[in-house]
Amino acid sequence: MGSWQRLLLFHGVSLRGGARACAPLCGRQMLVCWRQLSGAESETLKQRRTQIMSRGLPKQKPIEGVKQVIVVASGKGGVGKSTTAVNLALALGANDSSKAVGLLDVDVYGPSVPKMMNLKGNPELSESNLMRPLLNYGVACMSMGFLVEETAPVVWRGLMVMSAIEKLLRQVDWGQLDYLVVDMPPGTGDVQLSVSQNIPISGAVIVSTPQDIALMDAHKGAEMFRKVHVPVLGLVQNMSVFQCPKCRHKTHIFGADGAKRLARTLDLDVLGDVPLHLNIREASDTGQPIVFSQPESDEAKAYLRIAAEVVKRLPSPPDHPPASCSLPEA
């Protein structure tokens, strides 16, 4: 369409045929014309974006020696995601002692794995100049917390964070692992996209409390993984209920069954409920996770059941890794 035939809008005036008189447009005409123009431009932009994304995204490459990658994520911080990731890793090994398990902490700004797994020190380098994970409780661990001082804040911009994530993904000698549990940072930002696009992920576990505010962000987290074609294995309802140690009365401090309602909305399963219990908090703070320190407790058994449900839902490892990952159209 030529410029003299194009419909232009300027302060409610229609300019047609170049030198003709200007005729005011009514509100409905303006709306129709605007939708026609914006619709065409939107389609053009969408096609252009798809072309750029299809050639610009990195190719997925498996982590050498790792059979299955399980990411543990949450839309919101403070819902017990790291506690769940640590105890899930330990529970996977406890349920099947023949399986080798690793734990990767990619929460660059707030790493929790060193404290929860009672690990300190810098990783040694292998002969091939790869970092060797630190080992405790039978789980190989790597975290940004091993590379910086415990009290030192990580004040980095996005490019530096992405560089750190790349090193944590590609410059660690994991040996041979059956499961690598990845403790993701909260939210749906650069780190989540980078991890999802760079390595094949067997499944994601979404952690949330039953509280509506947390569930809103958990919903976003689940939808993000679906957008990048990562299977969501299910939801973990953390801090589901508090039981008074004296009178045994149960109180749903954060609400009741919120994750179950969200799971129905998303057509997902609830992998299990974890109660709000003092023992879980104390065990995490002392670096002796409850699955290791109190394996016969009801709280530890909740994580063991969750680990069993996760394994049931894991797909078989692919014979050949996917060639690439691309974001769907917005």
Question: Contact, 242 vs 48, CB < 8 A?
Answer: no
Instruction: Average the pLDDT over 81-102 and give the result.
Output: 96
Q: What is the pLDDT of residue 287?
A: 95
Please write down the HEC assignment for all residues of 251-289: ECCCCCCHHHHHHHHHCCCEEEEECCCHHHHHHHHCCCC
Give the residue among 271, 267, 209, 264 at the shortest CA–CA distance from 235. Answer: 271
At 16, is the pLDDT very low, low, confident or very high (cuts 50, 70, 90)?
A: very low
Q: What is the pLDDT of residue 321?
A: 43
Q: In what order do the strands lie in the sheet with 270-274?
A: 134-136, 139-143, 101-105, 177-183, 66-73, 203-208, 232-238, 270-274
Q: What is the pLDDT of residue 55?
A: 52
Strands 203-208 vs 66-73: parallel, antiparallel or unpaired: parallel
Q: Please give the backbone phi and psi of residue 211, each rounded to the nearest 5 degrees, phi first.
A: -70, 140
Would you say residue 112 has pLDDT above 90?
yes
Task: Name the least confident of 59-68, 243-252, 273-282, 313-322.
Answer: 313-322
Task: Name the least confident of 5-9, 236-240, 256-260.
Answer: 5-9
Would you say residue 7 has pLDDT above 50?
no
Query: What are the CA-CA distances from residue 50 to residues 46, 47, 61, 72, 322 (Å)?
Result: 6, 5, 22, 29, 19
Token pair listed for 265: 């909305």
Q: Give the ranges where the chain is alpha helix by DSSP (H).
A: 27-56, 81-95, 113-116, 158-170, 190-198, 212-227, 258-266, 278-285, 290-293, 298-313
Mean model confidence pLDDT for the chain: 82
At 242, is the pLDDT very low, low, confident or very high (cuts 50, 70, 90)?
A: confident
Would you say residue 255 has pLDDT above 60?
yes
d(CA 317, CA 177): 12
Give the pLDDT confidence of 267-321 residue by residue, as tens digits.
999 999 999 999 999 999 999 999 999 999 999 999 999 999 999 999 876 554 4
Q: What is the pLDDT of residue 24?
A: 52
Would you say residue 243 has pLDDT above 90?
no
Question: Contact, 234 vs 271, CB < 8 A?
Answer: yes
Instruction: Average the pLDDT over 130-138 and give the result.
Output: 96
Task: Name the least confident of 22-26, 60-64, 198-202.
Answer: 22-26
